[in-house]
Amino acid sequence: MGGAFLAAAVLARLGGRIGLPTIPLFILAGILLGPHTPGYTLLSNPHDLEMLSALGLVLLLFYLGLEFHMDDLKTGGRKMAIAGGTYLVLNVGAGLIFGFALGWGTSEALVLAGVLGISSSAIVTKILVDLGRIGNPETRPILGIIVVEDVFLALYLAALQPILSGADSLSAALIDGGKAFGFLLLLALAARFGTKIIGKLMNTKDDELLVISFLGMAVFVAGVSEMFGVADAIGAFMVGLMLGSTSSGDRILKLVHPLRDAFGAIFFFAFGLSIDPGDLPSVLWPVLAAVVLTLAMNIAAGLAAAKVYSFGAQATSNIATTLVARGEFALILATMAAAAGLDERLSPFIAGYVLLLAVLAPLAAGRSHWLARILPGGRKKDDNQDQEQVPVSV
């Protein structure tokens, strides 16, 4: 475990010098030190980190729930819903068609729809911070699209779980789906109406007791969720949603941050351990095709969002390139697919796809002005800027 942390830290520090995000580097550390790569093997059995990896996944979604606020849907909700809905229709729809075109199976196509359709909120946020765009006008719709994606993801994972569990008949699938939906509805009602009671239970001035309390609640509800057929990560997300609206929400957000970073790194590292680099060449062309498809759909979604918000070419380009990154959500789906015994090509495909886009996204976002030049209105803006720079003598 110590070696995993140190290897991830060393690679992340090296990658940070050239502006790469941490997620693909954590995965790369796992690949390099895993049992499938020649040289030193840190862990011969990836399952040794299974519980720590599960905890990392729970904390990632718990943190996301803390950051999500119902007020986000009320302020500018209509435009945000249109932009986010358009993004999902284009990307998830394209992912579903792509999945069926590969011919790996219906369940696999449904997984690929989510993999190709959902951006990485972690990488997107990091790009915005690193490039100093938090105050830009297009940042609000970018974060709005992320919020809509988060809501969709919670519903999508809840609906996908009974399908991946392999119910024996239609009636069994309906029963499993009903149990999952019922429990999810219970959690949603608790998040909507039970925050005052939960807030009183969590209210303490002692940070130690607060950490133990929210960690215990997140992990416990995640475990119970799994018993009812709801993904454990979604149970943790709902707990974060509840606690984020309490008076202790800001303190919890601050206290859980280092826990999320530490165990989240183990989650990505453990995923890398399970990847055999020898399998990547077999999915190289599907990965490249998926990357091209994602880039095209993000440009189309950026144009649609810009039209809703009346943005120009540069803001459109910023939206399109920033949202390209895929990361933690794709790996969540990969973990679920592996547990369900789906096609073995899914894991190396998702790994290659995530690694490539996680590296390309920050590079593309930093050079978004290149794309802006070829978008409608982009060249005209450049010409105007050039004319403004020409000195005029009187």
Does position 384 have pLDDT exceeding 50, yes or no? no
Q: Give the Cα separation of 241 and 307 in Å (integer).
A: 31
> Who wins on pLDDT, 91 or 380?
91
* Pair 65, 241: CB distance under 8 Å: yes
Confidence label for 89 from pLDDT (cuts 50, 70 and 90): very high
Q: What percent of the chain has pLDDT over 90?
A: 24
Q: Give the Cα separation of 55 and 46 in Å (integer).
A: 15
Q: Give the Cα separation of 215 and 58 in Å (integer).
A: 10
Tell me the two tokens of residue 184.
Answer: 């999810």
What's the full length of the chain, in residues? 394
* Pair 104, 165: CB distance under 8 Å: no
Tell me the CA distances in angstroms from 7 to 30, 101, 144, 257, one per residue in order. Answer: 8, 38, 35, 21
Q: Exposure pattern of 247-280 as b/e (b: 16+ CB <10 Å)? A: ebbebbbebbeebbeebbbbbbbbbbbbbbbebb
> Who wins on pLDDT, 161 or 102?
102
Does position 171 have pLDDT exceeding 70, yes or no? no
pLDDT tens-digit map of 18-77:
777 777 888 888 888 888 888 888 888 878 888 888 898 888 878 877 876 656 555 666
